[in-house]
A and B are shown apart, each in its own frame.
Chain A
Amino acid sequence: DVKVTQSSRYLVKRTGEKVFLECVQDMDHENMFWYRQDPGLGLRLIYFSYDVKMKEKGDIPEGYSVSREKKERFSLILESASTNQTSMYLCASSFSRGTGNQPQHFGDGTRLSIL
């Protein structure tokens, strides 16, 4: 079974803090993704990476950055946390087979509260 592990299930931070969310997958997947999910808005793509050291902006990258130094690990960074970044953060990974027919597998999610 695919295993995607996020470092924390629940996290509380203060406004202005730098926040790191870690994600590790054990299936040698090329692609990794960070989403946030908010009520009524569904899943929104923040950043993704299709290879080590490669990163691309998703739909809502403002206020975030990412790091992919190793294939299995994809980190999301909130440079200066703000209250509007309170959300459920989901990491996902998938194979890149060139056919487009690759589902994504999600971690358990991190519920982040910014006070």
Chain B
Amino acid sequence: RKEVEQDPGPFNVPEGATVAFNCTYSNSASQSFFWYRQDCRKEPKLLMSVYSSGNEDGRFTAQLNRASQYISLLIRDSKLSDSATYLCVVNMVLRGGADGLTFGKGTHLIIQP
């Protein structure tokens, strides 16, 4: 089983709509969760951390369900500039006890005018 799984999409969504995507993770001991955004041919950038109680940042809402081991991202009132690939990210412990991250392969979102 893959460590972090996401639907690759693409999700084609009209501007102004609400869109949600999930990801699942395999390591039940995972403690930290993030959503990153990656634009075409650019580096991944941290969008938001995901907290146990759920959290919101403007039009973006992240939720964590530990029992089912999935994380969700909801985007309200989508903008053309939201078009990007969204990476689901989960922490892992590397050799030497270093903090590492496992990245999903990303969900491609296209907002259409």
Contact = CB atoms under 8 A, between A and B. Distances in A.
Interface residues of A, number: 31
A104 B41 CA distance: 18
A66 B94 CA distance: 17
A32 B94 CA distance: 12
B34 A54 contact: no
A107 B49 contact: no
Given A107-B43, A108-B43, A56 B105 contact: no
- Consensus secondary structure, chain A interface: loop
Given A31-B99, A42-B105, A45-B100, A56 B45 contact: no
Interface in A28-42: 31, 33, 40-42
A84 interface: no
Interface residues of B, number: 26
Contacts of B42: 108-109
A73 interface: no
Contact of B94 (A42, A56, A106): A56
B99 A106 contact: no
Given A106-B44, A109-B42, A42 B104 contact: yes
Contacts of A41: 105
Nearest to A42: B105
Contacts of A102: 32, 91, 99
B95 interface: yes
B96 A42 contact: no
Interface of B: 31-32, 34, 41-46, 49, 87, 89, 91, 93-101, 103-106
Given A103-B49, A106-B43, 6 more contacts: A31-B99, A42-B87, A42-B106, A58-B94, A98-B99, A101-B32
